[in-house]
Amino acid sequence: MASQGSTRQPKYQRIADALKVAIRSGEYGPGDRVPGENDLMATYEVARMTARQALGVLQNEGLVEARRGAGVFVRSFRIRRRRGIQRLAQGQWGSGRSIWSADIDDRELVVDQIDVGEQEADSRIAGALGISPGSRVWVRSRRFVLEGKPVLFATSYLPSDIVADSAITRPDTGPGGVYARLAELGHEPVHFREEVRSRMPSVDDAERLSLSPGTPVIQIVRTAFAEGGRPVEVNDMTLDSASYVLEYDFDAR
């Protein structure tokens, strides 16, 4: 019997909850088509808008995806677990491995867009890097795609007086990535700070990450510091929240 609280739920939410139970129980597995608007209208005797709202709830939570002309299907994409501590360990990038490889297990992460260039730092980036506004910085923007799904857009800012004429100014930075090259330049990162927030996507975010309407993003801004406390990189990352779990595993002492 439904509880009094559940009967006060909007009809679309009750339908969405029933579909979520069916997905989690395996009745509808990855790649399976879930009941469409017409099916839900007939089964639950509701209006089309109610059925559409129910499916919208599942889309916004990243459980299903709509395919034009085909219907709505359970997402087959596996959530990516971002291991916030392990990925930044010196043993990861210092041995020539990408920090991104700590997150993807046996899956292939592809950078399908990359843009590298020099520009003047605005006040936000200048403040984070401890330099004067208008100072020159090298900017590296990349989009990361996992199993055909854009999951992350990242933009790194590095002081030009440190990285000019180095491999960091080229699209392929080589084994170990930016942090390994910074170490070779005498500015090895020894400390990191990450600020994490959740927000609704901008128009650019939604386009870059192919987001379903209403899907929020996770913004992570990481600052890397060299010995002596000098900031050597600011990395502004935008993540599809439906594709990630953020994991932080550390000792109490």
Question: Could you give the 3-state DSSP secondary structure of residue 236?
Answer: strand
d(CA 86, CA 99) in angstroms, rounded, equals: 9
**126 is written with which tokens?**
């200048």
Per-residue model confidence (pLDDT) at position 24 = 85
90 and 33 co-located in one domain: no
CATH number for the domain that contains residue 215: 3.40.1410.10
In a domain, 253, yes or no: no
Question: Could you give the 3-state DSSP secondary structure of residue 100?
Answer: helix
60 and 106 co-located in one domain: no
53 and 144 co-located in one domain: no
> 24 is in which domain, residue-wise?
4-74
Q: What is the pLDDT of residues 196-236, one digit of tens each?
A: 999 999 989 999 998 876 778 999 999 999 999 999 999 99
Q: Is the dihedral of CA 85, 90, 93, 95 positive or negative?
A: negative
89 and 205 co-located in one domain: yes
Task: Quote the number of domains for the chain.
Answer: 2
Alpha carbon of 222 to those of 81, 154, 196, 225, 233: distances in Å?
A: 17, 10, 9, 10, 8
Average pLDDT over residues 160-181: 93
51 and 134 co-located in one domain: no
In a domain, 138, yes or no: yes
Question: Could you give the 3-state DSSP secondary structure of residue 47?
Answer: coil
In a domain, 252, yes or no: no
Per-residue model confidence (pLDDT) at position 54 = 93
149 and 234 co-located in one domain: yes
CATH number for the domain that contains residue 42: 1.10.10.10
d(CA 40, CA 37) in angstroms, rounded, equals: 5
d(CA 115, CA 134) in angstroms, rounded, equals: 20
Q: Is the pLDDT of residue 175 over 50?
A: yes
Q: What is the pLDDT of residues 156-166, one digit of tens each?
A: 999 999 999 99
Which of 144, 170, 159, 147 shows the shortest CA–CA distance to 238? 144
Q: What is the pLDDT of residues 31-88, one digit of tens each?
A: 899 999 999 999 999 999 999 999 988 887 778 888 888 899 887 766 666 665 555 5
Q: What is the pLDDT of residues 100-125, one digit of tens each?
A: 555 555 667 789 999 999 999 999 99
Q: Which residue has the tokens 């997402």?
A: 75
Mean pLDDT of the chain: 85
Q: Which of 26, 48, 74 is the last residue of a domain?
A: 74
CA dihedral of 111, 117, 120, 122, whole degrees rounded to 10: -10
SS3 content of the chain, % helix, strand, coil (to 5): 30, 30, 35
162 and 192 co-located in one domain: yes
